[in-house]
Amino acid sequence: MICNKFIKIGALCKNRASVLVASRNRHYNTEKPKWKKPEKGCIKLNFDGSSKSRKASIGGVYRNHEGVFLLGYSERIEKATSSVAELVAAKRGLELALENGWFNIWIEGDAKFVVDVIGKPAQMRSKEHVKHINEIKVLLSLLDHFDASHIFRRGNKVADKLANLGYGMKMPKVWDEPPPEIIRFLRDDANGK
């Protein structure tokens, strides 16, 4: 299972260079997309970026192996394309992981290109994309271990809701208790619905 292939339960990898990019859900996958819990000893980040009429926001959520909410974030980032918003959402999530001392992370988002960028060299032309990708790569190098996977938007509802909350925020917000708008989605995910 993801996040535990190279570590013993409860112990983090000593080798910062160990990297495994998980198999990604392909667009031809007929399974209903649903959120999956990480294994014990791993923390899962689901991220999302959103852009509407060049206004953009980001959001993400961290949960443990029982599906328990650990931390959430939302932020309005002003003008950005949807692809830049997705990159910024992943980057902000990684920054929060390091701030909280979480070095064994499963990163999951509905922007397949971001997951692909994490796993292999990127062929981006935009200077803004390259800037964010390089910053993400630096943050990833500070982790002991990470996995990355793609999930369809319907399986990424909590992060999607947090990203949409960002539109109404004047200041970035980090929650250590879930906002009421996502509690139902958290419960559904934890119960495998």
Query: What would the pLDDT profile of 130-139 be if each residue is shown by its tens digit?
Result: 889 989 999 9
Specify the pLDDT at position 78: 80
Tell whether 144 is covered by a domain: yes
Q: What is the CATH number of the domain that holds 180?
A: 3.30.420.10
Nearest to residue 59, comparing CAs of 110, 103, 131? 110
Distance CA 46, CA 156 (A): 7
The pTM (predicted TM-score) of the whole model is 0.81
The answer to whether position 5 is within a domain reads: no
* Of the candidates 79, 83, 89, 81, the residue with the CA atom closest to the CA atom of residue 58: 89
Q: Tell whether 21 is covered by a domain.
A: no
Domain count within the chain: 1
pLDDT at position 129 is 85
DSSP 85-146: HHHHHHHHHHHHHHHTT--EEEEEES-HHHHHHHHS------HHHHHHHHHHHHHHHTSSEE
pLDDT of residue 11: 34
Q: What is the pLDDT along the chain (193 residues), one digit of tens a residue?
A: 445 433 332 333 333 333 333 333 333 444 567 899 999 999 999 999 999 987 999 999 999 999 999 999 999 998 888 999 999 999 999 999 999 999 999 999 999 988 888 776 666 678 888 889 989 999 999 999 999 999 998 999 999 999 999 999 999 999 999 999 999 999 999 998 8
Q: List the end-to-end C-alpha distance of the chain, in Å, as a whole number.
A: 19
pLDDT of residue 30: 45
- Assigned domain for 3 exists: no
In this structure, is residue 138 part of a structural domain? yes
pLDDT score recorded for residue 54: 75
Compute the distance between CA of residue 183 and CA of residue 144 in angstroms, rounded to an integer: 30
Q: What confidence tens digit (pLDDT) does each residue in 166-181 have?
A: 999 999 999 999 999 9
Answer yes or no: is 20 within a domain: no
| Domain boundaries, position 170 | 43-190
What's the pLDDT score for residue 10?
Answer: 32
Any domain includes 6: no
List CB contacts of 160: < 8 A, sequence separation 6 or more.
Answer: 48, 50, 59, 110, 153
Domain annotation covers residue 78:
yes
